[in-house]
Structure 1
Amino acid sequence: MSPGSRRIGPVRYSVLGPTLAHRPDGTPVPVGGPRLRALVTVLALRAGRAVPVPVLVDEVWHGEPPADGAAALQALVGRARRALGHEAVVSADGGYRLAADPEDVDARRFERLAADGLHALESGDPARAAGLLDEALGLWRGPALADLPDRAAEASRWEARRLDARRARLGAALALGQATTVLPELAALCEEHPLDELLQALRIRALRDTGRAAEALAAYDAVRRELAGRLGTDPSPALRALHTELLATDPATAPTASAPGSAPASAGTTGNLRARLTSFVGRERDIAAVREDLRGARLVTLLGPGGAGKTRLSQEVADVASDAWPDGVWLAELAPVTDPQAVAEAVLGAVGARQTVLRGAGAEELRTNVHDDPVGRLVEHCGSRRLLLLLDNCEHVVGAVAG
């Protein structure tokens, strides 16, 4: 048996950065040449599963396929076997399979550790979460999949997972009373991701926990303006709830009395309706009629000229009938939405269900119950809930709203 085919123990693979291979004792395994590193990357991402020849040719020689792709791939596999061991790459099912367990690949270990860390955090064990997440994030050595020729889409999925883990780690730090320590990192991340409401909420919490309530309120206001200006939406319910907590605990900003004639939203109402600061009288008959329509129809449309009070009427009806909607009343303001294709995303944002959907080669590996179609995601979010949606100022996108 030649030295290149000796089995010296399972090889471990690193793709969260430049592609590397090494023995369990840390001995590096040379993986020379960009094509060979690309092949190892593609196989490692699907460790233990056969990858068809056409898929390998496409991903290893992206944009520059050889005249005889199958033959060129076979030669490249031969080089991989000489470097990693003959049994490392197995011919199987019209393709090739890396003889490795998911735990032999840093990306898959990262995935498991990050999931365990998030579970620990959600279970109320921030210390354990911090340890797991530190181990997961420590596997990163640089940009993900650095040796994959067409890395942008695939790498973006892993970078998104890395950001999820960083968020969770920062949340664990706040739970452990380390707000002062992580505040600089949070500020930098929020600068990079100004529309990431989860990060923004962590930063606001960190400011609050370090006794900087005024700065926390200013940060919330900046996020609110950013969301309104760039997405035409309000902050998520969770972020608004945090703002309410800030107002309630800061005597300098908490309201001391209601304005004369004000009619705040019912205390039991959930959702995103704001308190109305003026009274609403003389339209009891209209309220009763719309309320009766809602009892017998899933869709009620209010028609009338601009300024007739359709928006206010719908909100007053929602307040009066709030007990019928245990999962809340949610207002989606569609006036800023000019693209009909953005309607569903705007409604998702209003109900606090915005989601980043990642695409690209192999995206199915991490995708679990995620709809690429915003309407599908909206149906999934609302299907198990009993709630009322108010779609306001929708005339200019009425076709998309009907859909």
Structure 2
Amino acid sequence: MRYLILGTTEALDPLGRRLPVGGARLRALLAALALRGGRAASVTELAGDVYGDSPPQDAPAALQALVGRLRRIIGSDAVASTPGPGYRLVAAAEDIDLYVFERQVQDAAAHLDAGDPEKAAALLGPALALFRGPALADLSGPAGVRPEAQRLAALRQRVEADLRRGATDGLVPELTGLTTTYPYDEPFHAQLIRALRAEGRHADALAAFESARRTLANALGADPGPELAALHRELLAGPPPAPAPSPRPYAQRVRARARGR
């Protein structure tokens, strides 16, 4: 079985077929169980996740009935009763997309730190593709805040890997969109400036810095942080000089002189 909570909650059987987990309450229960990665949750915790601020009069009995419905869909052994009382999803971390995502991102970070952006990018692309929509979309409250923050951090890592391996095609429009969506995210602004500089667009990189500076000043009353400031100093120093052409080998020079060139 596989459980998908990086978007609308889904359960897939061993053949990859989607199981009919219908109804908002049922999806919320499955999401709450899968979020705990196989750890037990008390009835009180699960009731809070499923019903929020509007629990039924007898929440434990309503939750028990909901667990019964879920077992009929995903299997009677898939949800175990635990002392407390409580319940847990009988699943390993690799069966739940959130934990697969976290492991792949952790591995990618290790490759990036080791100076291997190619392997990092190869892991981060599939990891980010696990998001089918807002994380934990069926749970109300702050449950989805942490995985969404992890997604943004992984996106920054993927862009960093692309910059380091020279895969800049498409980065400028992507980062332009990201800085519009997240206007106060300095790392995205810094990556946009670096992508523009990598394309030889020195003036556009300076304009991107000025846009970031104005945004931060007008909205937050803050100056650019150390990374943006350092990039600005590098840009003011001017683009690096073009490399001098390599001298032709001696034999070519001799032939050129013989031909009168």
Once the two structures are superposed, the pairs formed by residues 375-394 of structure 1 within 5 Å of their partners are none
Matched, 1:230 2:224: no
Question: Structure 1 runs of 4+ off > 3 angstroms?
Answer: none
Query: Match of 2:204, as an amino acid?
Result: E
Write the distance in 2 (CA, Å) between the matches of 1:186 and 1:84.
41
Range with bigger deviation, 225-234 or 129-138: 225-234
Question: Can you list the C-alpha shifts for 1:249-303, whole angstroms capped at 9, x where unaligned?
Answer: 338xxxxxxxxxxxxxxxxxxxxxxxxxxxxxxxxxxxxxxxxxxxxxxxxxxxx
- The alignment's TM-score, normalised by the length of structure 2, stands at 0.88
The residue aligned with 2:192 is: 203
Write the distance in 1 (CA, Å) between the matches of 2:10 and 2:233.
49
Task: Report how far residue 82 of structure 1 moved.
Answer: 1.1
The residue aligned with 1:72 is: 62
Instruction: Please tell me whether the aligned partners of residues 180 and 210 of structure 1 are also in contact (alpha carbons under 8 angstroms).
Output: no
- The alignment's TM-score, normalised by the length of structure 1, stands at 0.58
The residue aligned with 2:135 is: 144
Write the distance in 2 (CA, Å) between the matches of 1:113 and 1:124.
17
Match of 1:29 among 19, 26, 34: 19
Write the distance in 2 (CA, Å) between the matches of 1:171 and 1:93.
46
RMSD: 1.6
The residue aligned with 2:183 is: 194
Task: Structure 1: give runs of 5+ residues left out of the alignment.
Answer: 1-10, 252-403
The residue aligned with 1:239 is: 228
Query: Match of 2:171, as an amino acid?
Result: V
Write the distance in 1 (CA, Å) between the matches of 2:220 and 2:191.
21
Write the distance in 2 (CA, Å) between the matches of 1:96 and 1:199.
41
Write the distance in 1 (CA, Å) between the matches of 2:190 and 2:113.
16
Matched, 1:96 2:48: no
Counterpart secondary structure, 2:161: helix
Counterpart secondary structure, 2:11: strand
Write the distance in 2 (CA, Å) between the matches of 1:238 and 1:166.
18
Matched, 1:180 2:172: no
Task: Report how far residue 114 of structure 1 moved.
Answer: 1.4
Write the distance in 2 (CA, Å) between the matches of 1:115 and 1:232.
34
Q: Between Structure 1 and Structure 2, how many residues are aligned?
A: 240
Write the distance in 1 (CA, Å) between the matches of 2:181 and 2:106.
24
Write the distance in 1 (CA, Å) between the matches of 2:165 and 2:239.
23
Match of 1:216 among 181, 200, 205: 205
Higher RCO by CA contacts (8 Å cutoff, separation 6 or greater): 2
Write the distance in 2 (CA, Å) between the matches of 1:178 and 1:132.
15
Write the distance in 1 (CA, Å) between the matches of 2:90 and 2:190.
43
Counterpart secondary structure, 1:56: helix
Match of 1:12 among 2, 13, 17: 2
Once the two structures are superposed, the pairs formed by residues 294-373 of structure 1 within 5 Å of their partners are none
Task: Report how far residue 24 of structure 1 moved.
Answer: 3.0
Task: Report how far residue 67 of structure 1 moved.
Answer: 0.6
Counterpart secondary structure, 2:88: strand
Same amino acid, percent of matched pairs: 53
Question: Can you list the C-alpha shifts for 1:3-22, whole angstroms capped at 9, x where unaligned?
Answer: xxxxxxxx110011111101
